[in-house]
Chain A
Amino acid sequence: NAGVTQTPKFRVLKTGQSMTLLCAQDMNHEYMYWYRQDPGMGLRLIHYSVGEGTTAKGEVPDGYNVSRLKKQNFLLGLESAAPSQTSVYFCASSSPTQNSPLHFGNGTRLTVT
């Protein structure tokens, strides 16, 4: 099993450009999440999904949109990138119980100049 796969691994954008980050999981998990990791701030939840066709805002949703058209995929979009969105983005998935561990992808390092 590949687990959670994120593409691309690296990306450099200019301010105002748009892009989509793709997350795919092969564990048949109901829940999926997008986090961003910044030095000294841990991981902060951007958006999450509890099932196909449903999404919800997390702690830091502004400037991002998401879609979950298929159970195995969770897309994160930046419509107009800003330097403040320079970060490492992690996707995760889990079973639909509170005590289920999250399974993380290896991250996408995004730089916005």
Chain B
Amino acid sequence: AQSVAQPEDQVNVAEGNPLTVKCTYSVSGNPYLFWYVQYPNRGLQFLLKYITGDNLVKGSYGFEAEFNKSQTSFHLKKPSALVSDSALYFCAVILGGSGNTGKLIFGQGTTLQVKP
């Protein structure tokens, strides 16, 4: 069965410092991995995805994520956090290949708090 774990309920960083939001996954084949962000009272917005190729993927708003197959991780990173990055972040996975109709499995979410 596919699953996603976000081990931290909340991450606190100071503005200007680097941030990391952790995600680990479990699938029986090649994963397609995604990060989404949710601002208060809004739906989720797509940030970035890993399908294949370069392990470091770049996305919206200066975020990037590193795919690590041996550690089954896909951590979200940003070199310099902004107060406006404060939001709820979701990692999601789907098993790549035929027969999967885009049914993402989401992690439980990590609240990022960036303090001035």
Partner-B contacts on A (CB < 8 A): 4, 31, 33, 40-45, 48, 50, 56, 58, 90, 92, 94, 96-107
Contact = CB atoms under 8 A, between A and B. Distances in A.
A99 B44 contact: no
Q: Is the interface of B mostly helix, strand, loop or mixed?
A: loop
Given A42-B107, A42-B108, A98 B43 contact: no
Interface string B89-116: 0100010110011111011110000000
Interface residues of B, number: 26
A102 B104 contact: yes
Contacts of A31: 101-102
Contacts of B17: none
Contact of B49 (A45, A96, A99, A104): A99
Given A99-B51, A106-B43, 12 more contacts: A31-B101, A40-B9, A42-B107, A42-B109, A45-B104, A94-B102, A98-B94, A99-B32, A101-B34, A101-B46, A102-B44, A107-B41
